Structure formats: structure tokens, C-alpha cells
Amino acid sequence: MGPRLFLIVCFAGLAATCLAAVGAGMWLIAAALPEEGPDIFNIVMVYGGGLAFLLTAVIAVVWAYLDHALAQPTAAIVRGIQTVMHANPDHRIEVPDLHQLGGLPRAVTDLVSQLARAENSVGEAIAKATEKVEQQKDQLGIILQDLHEGVLVCNLNHNILLYNNRALELLHITSEVGLDRSLFSFMNRQPVLHALDRLTTRVAEGRHVQHETGTMVSFVGSTLDGRHTLDGRMSLILNSDVVPTGYVISFDDETEELAALGLRDRLLREATEGLRAPVANLKAAAEILNANPDMPKDDQVAFKQVMLKEGSFMAERLESLSAQYRDVITGHWPMTDIYSSNLFNNLANRLKDRLQLDTVMIGIPLWVHGDSYTLMELLDRIVQKVSAHTGARSFDLEAVSGERHMYLDVMWKGEPIPASELSSWLTDQLEDTLGGLSLRDVLEHHKTDIWSLPHRGGLARLRLPLPPAKHPPTSRGTRSRPSRPEFYDFELLQQPDTLGELGSRPLKSINYVVFDTETTGLEPSSGDEIISIAGVRLVNGRILTGESFERLVDPKRPIPKESIRFHGITEEMVKDKPPVQVVLPQFHEYLGDAVLVAHNAAFDLKFLKLKESECGISFDNPVLDTLLLSVYLHDYTNRHTLDAVAERFGIDIQGRHTALGDALVTAGVFLKMIDVLEARGIHTLDQAIESAHSIVEVRAQQAGF
């Protein structure tokens, strides 16, 4: 119902009501008059009719005024707005003169005009943005078209979302790929999955922030038929929550280059094998001449010298060609820095899932240099061979630092593999890898070899030497940092003189958890809080790297900048992490009944003890402090920081001033200490605790002087 019709209905109702009221009044008056007074009746009728007419006239005039002053202008505004919105954005709203809407028509006109202009502006902006997006899309298409490398963009389901024509050429696809097709319809899946697993693990652990290549990793793949080798790089696509949503692969065809290497390989092999026979002949001739003393002496001497000289030359030439051959073959194979724990973790998962073989990562992880995918395939096949040959179902995996190489060791209970048997395994081809490489090819690409030898405790091991990482992450341990205060708190380190059966057990037979914390500062009693805690298990003299505990903690307070520059943990990193009331009970459960070990343990224990009541737990496990044990073992020096002790025991320091990194270094130090303690006659836990207590007492006495 429009405003005019509404007014008509309202005023018509008002007029009818007034007429009815007047009529009713006249009827009541007439009924009350005596019959003998007709003149009075006529007067009432005249006045009543006049009043009815007057009221009707007034109502009609008021309606006409309101209709002209309000209803018609309002209707005009409505029609004008409809015209502007649906027909002509430039239309000016026309309102009858003498209206009583005040500034409303002008305000509505201005508002509609501004709305129309804004709509035009938005439309123009959208048109420009669309045009810009189309231009960028065209530019991206041109860039992708002109790139020498192939580019593929995929989601986490490995469906192709974007590609360029170069990708089609390199994958040798004659038709369109077709968006949403699986990448594995054209490319070998294993190298891609391995690269993606490395990146997602790196991001999940937060290592991509400081990693040299960030969210990018190199890999070597191949087309599905294995005819073409692809040198690729994968980069993760992360959303605003740092969650992977897809990945980009850029790649090039290395088939011809590798084929050229293969040709040079064949030529060098022929050359070297061709030289072996002449060398053997020359040496044989020299031996014959030496065996015939009847020849003239001068001839013998001259002939022998020539033959021996030529033989030596050719033998040296043979070795030179062999060395050049190895350099040529290995110089072009893509290599990256690899963290041993990542390689071992992937290997352990694969062996467990496929063959139900149990593997345990031990020792301190190290950085090595190589191709993680082919190394993974090599170790996988070798462990399978060892299991089949020896019947072993459980293996230890450890990275060991040497003078010039890093060693990857695979250990099992049993006898070493004979050299002839191991050599026969190396001829096996890896069907799932590039071009059917053999195990020996993988070793040659890495300029290394593999051998088997006895290990202590009835174990045997396979040892694979690899070069150290070329660009390992910079150790934060090289930065200057104030030493933690040395706590010699009797209450914190107070332990019973004897621990019953546990205290009498040999040190090497006890289960330990070596732990460390990172904090907002060095004053736990003044409000500093834990921001990271980590632990690693020691079982039977082995560091179980794969059973580590590591958590970031929200301290619910600012982290000082002077602390951040040492441990690298920012407020953004601990944002939304669980508080200490959640993390410490988790660590307490992880700890179980193991013996606690830490460097300057009282410092870390102070933080734990202050939170016991809040967390509803109690850390009453026996404790050993490597700082006190260092003072006991090496009382001739005042250098007992973790860095100094690690250097003294020859422990390679990586990842210092992270809780897990420090825990791993402390674990390595403690294992070395056990051997020295035993040499000093300290064999049991009770004896070790007593030795540490003696140092506490000495330091406390010194502090009193």
C-alpha cells in the first residue's frame, strides 16, 4: 500500500467516524426532545448537518494538504530512487513544490547520487582489477611459456593445477596434460613423495624458517617410463597459517647430460681396462728379463729400465684415469645437505611399514652431504639384504663424526658381512630409481664405499662414509651468551644416600632421560619462565634419537630481546603454544622412572620444582649433573661449560642453545663420562651421586670463605 492510498484510507475512516458520531449525537438529542417541539428538532438537524459538513470539509482539506506536502513527495522519492537504481544512475529525483519533507528530498538525492558514483567507481575499479589480473595472467603465461624449465603446480593430492608448455616438452607429452590430472600419470612418484615428505617434515618442525633453502628442496626424478631423468626443485605453497596447501615443481631434462656422462663412463672404462693388459704384459716381460741372466748384462739393464719405466708410467696413468672417471661421474649428480635424523627417520618408517623390521636411531644427529633419495634406496636395500643374510630383525642407526668424513652406521647383533658377499650385493639394480641404478652406482656417485666390520658388545655394523655438509646450519653455540648461574642448592639436589636396587646397578644398565630447558631469563625465582623443554632417552648406552621429547611453551609473558638472540625463540613462535601447566605433565609422563641427567641440573630443576604444585606433579627422580661430574673428573680446570666439556670429550656440537640440541650434546658427554667414571672406580648410580655430592659440598664450602 502506497503512502497516498494509506492517507486516503486513514482520512476516509476518520470522516466516516466523525459523521457517525455526529449522526449518533443528533439521534440521541432528537429522541430526548418532546414531540410538541418541532422547531427545536429542525434547529438540531440544521446544526448537526452543518457540523457534519464542516468536519468533512476540514478532514478533506487536511488530507489534501498532507497528500500534497507528504504523500506525493514521498512517493516521488520512492519512484525516483527506483529509477536511479534500475534505469538511470544520473536521474535527478523530482519532488512537488510546497512539500513538508524539509531537507529529506535533497539529502536522498545527494545520497543516491553518491551511491551511483560509488557504484560506478567500484565497477570501474573491478574492471581495472580484472584487466590487471588478466594482464598478470597473460604475463605469467608468457613467463611460463618462455621459461627454459618446466613448471608444475600441484595440490597435496598431487593433481596438476597449472603447467607450462615446457613441462609438456620435458615430460614428452604430445597432447594437453589436462588440469586436475594426477602428476604420477607422467612422473615417477617415489622421488616426488620423498621430497614432499622432507619439506612437510621441515615445516612441521619449524626448521624451514632458518633453513638455508627454506621451503625448497632439490630432487632427481624421472618420467614414468624411466627414459628421461629430471633434475627438479620442489617448493611448498603455505597458507597464512603456515600449513602446506600444495607445491611447485620446476625441472629440467638431464637425460642427455647423464647420457654423456654414461658415454664418458664407458670410454673411461674401456681405456682403463685396455691399459690393464699392456701393464700386465710389460710387467711380465720385465719379470722374464729379470729371470734370464744369460742375456748380455748391458742389454738386460737397459731393457729392464725401459720396461719398468713404461710399466710404472702406464700403472700411474691407469690410476689417474680412474680418478678422473670418478670425478666426472660424481661431479654432475645433484647433492644437498642432509640431516642424518631425517634420513634415518624416513628409513625407519619404511622398514617398519614394509618389512616389520625394528630400527632405533641412536647417537647425536649430524649433517652430511649427498642425495637423500638414492641414499635412502641404498640403505633400504642393504638392510633388507643384511636381514635376509643374518636373520636380524632389529637394527641400530647412528651417525658418527670422523676426521674427514661422517659415517652412517647400521648395526645389528651378529657377525659382520663377508666382503665377497657384500660386494655381490652391490651389483643389484634399484628398479624404482633413476635409470635402474645399481647399488655400486650410488656409491660411486657419492665417491664412497661401504664395508662391514665387528662392533663392540657382540654387534656388527655396516659403515657408509659420506662427506660433511657443505653449508650446515650455523651453530648458535658460537655466539656469546652469559653462562647460566651455577646452582648448588642442597634442596634441589638432595637425594637419599642409597637408592636401593637402582642405586647398586651399573651406570650403563640404567635408563636415563637427558633434558634441557630454554627460558625467558636466568632468574627462575624472579618470574622467568620456561619457553622450551626437550629430553632424549639413554638406554643400554645408546642415545635413542628417535624417542626424543621436544615442546615449545607459551610463557604468558614477554621474551626479552637479549634472550631471543641466544636461543632464537620469539614470541611469535610460542604464540598459541600450550602453557607450562600442560607441557610439564607431558614431560613427567615421558620421564617415567628414568634417572634425570642435565648440565647444571639445579638450574633446570629450579624451573621444574617451582611449577610442581600448579601442575599437580612431583619430579622426585634421581638426578645426575654433568657439570658436577665434570668438576669431579677434571678438577684441574675451571672450564666446565657445556661447550668446554663437549670439546674436551670430542663431541661435535650442533644445534646449541636449543633445548633438544643441548640435550643431545649433554647425552653424548654423559656417555663419555661413564667410561671415565668407571676408570676412576665409579661403577654404580650410588657412587656417581656420591661423587657429585662431594663437589656440591666443596663448592658450598668455597662459597662460604
Based on the fold, state whether residues 566 and 595 are members of the same structural domain: yes
Which of 99, 657, 683, 693 is catalytic? The answer is 657
| Alpha-carbon separation of residue 343 from 372, 479, 615 (angstroms) | 7, 28, 37
CA 180 remoteness from chain centre: 26
For residue 164, what is the domain's CATH number? 3.30.450.20
CATH number of the CATH domain containing 603: 3.30.420.10
Is 89 found in the same domain as 99? yes
Q: Is residue 3 a part of any domain in this protein?
A: yes
Grid cell at residue 374: 638414492
Residues whose CB is less than 8 angstroms from the CB of residue 76 and which lie 6 or more positions away in sequence, other chains included: 93, 94, 95, 96, 105
> Which residue would you say has higher pLDDT here, 81 or 162?
162
Q: Is the same domain home to 281 and 403?
A: no
Who wins on pLDDT, 535 or 256? 535
Does 694 have pLDDT greater than 70? yes
> How buried is residue 111: exposed, middle or buried, by Cβ count under 10 Å (0-12/13-18/19+)?
exposed
More confident residue, 390 or 33: 390
In a shared domain, residues 12 and 114: yes
Task: Assess whether 657 carries a catalytic annotation.
Answer: yes
User: Do 137 and 191 share a structural domain?
Assistant: no
669 belongs to a structural domain: yes
Give the end of a domain, one of 466, 490, 520.
466
Of 68-77, 332-341, 415-424, 488-497, the poorest mean pLDDT is in 488-497
Round to whole Å and give the CA distance between 71 and 4.
Answer: 5
Sequence-ordered alpha helix ranges (H) in 428-514: 439-445, 490-493
In a domain, 268, yes or no: yes
Q: What percent of the chain has pLDDT over 90?
A: 28
| Backbone torsions φ then ψ of 340, nearest 5 degrees | -60, -35
Could you read off the pLDDT of 611-665 as tens digits, one per residue? Answer: 999 999 999 899 999 999 998 888 878 888 888 888 888 887 765 668 898 999 9
Residue 471 lies in a domain: no
Whether the Cβ atoms of residue 164 and residue 150 lie closer than 8 Å to each other: yes
Q: Find out whether 396 and 452 touch, Cβ atoms under 8 Å.
A: no
Give residue 704's pLDDT: 46
Looking at the domain assignment, is residue 241 inside a domain? yes
Last residue of a domain, one of 442, 466, 490: 466
Percent pLDDT > 70 in the chain is 75
Structural domain boundaries, residue 382? 338-466
Q: Are both 349 and 363 inside the same structural domain?
A: yes
- Tell me: do 282 and 233 sit in the same domain: no
Residue 427 near residue 439 (C-beta atoms within 8 A): yes
Q: What is the CATH number of the domain that holds 441?
A: 3.30.565.10
Comparison of pLDDT for 287 and 698, the residue scoring more: 287
Residue 38 lies in a domain: yes
Indicate the range of 51-60, 192-201, 473-482 predicted with least confidence: 473-482
In a domain, 357, yes or no: yes
Residues 327 and 401 in one domain: no
Q: What one-character DSSP code corresponds to residue 528?
A: -
Closest CA to 663 of 607, 618, 604: 604
pLDDT computed for residue 476 by the predictor: 39
Domains in the chain, number: 5
Higher pLDDT, 74 or 2: 74
3-state secondary structure of 480: coil
Q: Check residue 389 and give its pLDDT.
A: 93
| Together in a domain, 321 and 370 | no
52 and 191 in a single domain? The answer is no
Cβ 642 vs Cβ 615: under 8 Å: no
Point out the domain boundary residue: 427, 447, 466: 466
Q: 612 and 667 in one domain? A: yes
Q: Average the pLDDT over each of 147-156, 218-227, 242-251, 303-312 and give the range with the smallest value.
A: 303-312
Query: Same domain for 452 and 583?
Result: no
Let me know if residue 577 belongs to a domain: yes
